[in-house]
Amino acid sequence: MSSGALYDSFIYPPFSVLDARAKWWQDRKKKWLSLGIDSGKGRKQDLLNGYSDAMARWSASQGKQAAPADWMAKSIFDPVLTELFYAWFSPVGGRVLDPFAGGSVRGVVAGLKGRNYLGFDISEEQIEENRRQAKALQLILNRSGKRAMRSGSISQVCAASSI
């Protein structure tokens, strides 16, 4: 990874081509995930709302082998991409508003990077899981006394609401 004032402030300067396969990116991602973020939890398996079975049947009718699980994969938002956007577009102490929140990653990264995150999601299950992860993470940080990255408070991780 390069160094210099822009890198100190922005992790990676905004006018860069991002390479999420680079070793430094993957190492940073592992560091984030090792804190206990599991953005897939709380998400429904079938993001395609019942279409996964139909697609599996269609594949079979075409003589293709497609396990239903292929269609039901969950996309997990990258914590490094999240922190880059926070660094580029929001000040420490700023507010992040996430109207279709989904998993925990954006809230947890916001809290640990000193932003105040407010996420909305129609799924109670998702919100409960996000809250659980945020609480657990705060406990881990408090207990160990270690702060792997610059810390901030999570004022609210998720608010249950439909929009």
Kindly tell me which residue out of 35, 120, 141, 160 binds ligand SAM, with binding defined by CB under 6 A.
120
CB 76, CB 103: distance < 8 Å: yes
Q: Does 123 bind ligand SAM (CB under 6 A)?
A: yes
Minimum CB–partner distance for residue 145 and ligand SAM (Å): 32
Minimum CB–partner distance for residue 25 and ligand SAM (Å): 18
CB 101, CB 122: distance < 8 Å: no
CA 47 to centroid of chain Cα atoms:
17
Q: Does 102 bind ligand SAM (CB under 6 A)?
A: yes
Q: In 34-160, where do the E strands start and end?
A: 95-98, 116-121, 159-160
* Residue closer to ligand SAM (CB basis): 1 or 73: 73
Q: Choose one: 19-27, 85-93, 116-124, 137-145; the region binding ligand SAM (CB under 6 A).
A: 116-124
Distance CA 28, CA 17 (A): 17
Nearest-CA neighbor of 118 among 95, 94, 134?
Answer: 95
Q: Does 100 bind ligand SAM (CB under 6 A)?
A: yes
Minimum CB–partner distance for residue 119 and ligand SAM (Å): 8
Minimum CB–partner distance for residue 99 and ligand SAM (Å): 7
Distance CA 118, CA 131 (A): 12
